[in-house]
Structures are given as structure tokens and as C-alpha cells.
Amino acid sequence: MSKVRRLVLDVLKPHQPNILSLAVKLGDLEGIEGADLVLNEIDNKVENIKITVEGPEINFDDVAAVIQESGGSIHSIDKVSTGKRLVDEANTPQDMTARWMR
């Protein structure tokens, strides 16, 4: 079975714990070599963040548990990479046209 190597999540969480604490907890999980958290939007009570984790064998259930224990909820799984190596998304002519029109 192919292993998850990169996972990108859209997450809604309360202000506490802050993203530094959450990043450390995620980075400490077995199978994760790195975690990147970006604050996208902030409201009176919650924050919307993008979480990217990479590693040789990411366990989604472990990641989801850390997020839920921190009071957060996963809105969507925005990207998943699996296989023996990481493959980056390839640009297509449609992508270039969409960027040009912005």
C-alpha cells in the first residue's frame, strides 16, 4: 500500500493553542519530518490555517487527533501526495492562462 508523504489541510481552530504549539505537536508525530502552518484568516474567536506536513509515512488519524485535541476541525483535505517519492504538481497551459488573467 502506498504511504502518504505530504498532506495539506484547511483547518479552523481557536486562538489557543497558537500555531507554534500546534506545529511542534504535529512535527513530533512519528512519520512526520516537517510541518508548516500558515495563518490565512483571523476572527474574534477562531483562526483559519493551512497545515502542510511531510514525511515518509504520515498517519492521517494521528494528525487529525492532534488537531482535534487542540480544539480544531479539518475543513478539507486540499492536497495529498503518496508514493515512493514526492511529486510536485505540474503546470499546464490552463494554469498559465489563469495566472495571466488575474
Helices (runs of H) and strands (runs of E) counted in the chain: 3, 4
Q: Please report the pLDDT score of residue 55 as a whole number.
A: 97
pLDDT digit string (tens) for 15-56?
999 999 999 999 999 999 999 999 999 999 999 999 999 999
The domain over range 4-101 is classified in CATH as 3.90.1300.10: no
Q: What is the pLDDT of residue 87?
A: 84
Sequence ranges of the domains in the chain: 4-101
What's the pLDDT tens digit per position in 49-86?
Answer: 999 999 999 999 999 999 999 999 999 999 999 998 88
- C-alpha distances in angstroms, 17 versus 64, 72, 102? 15, 10, 36
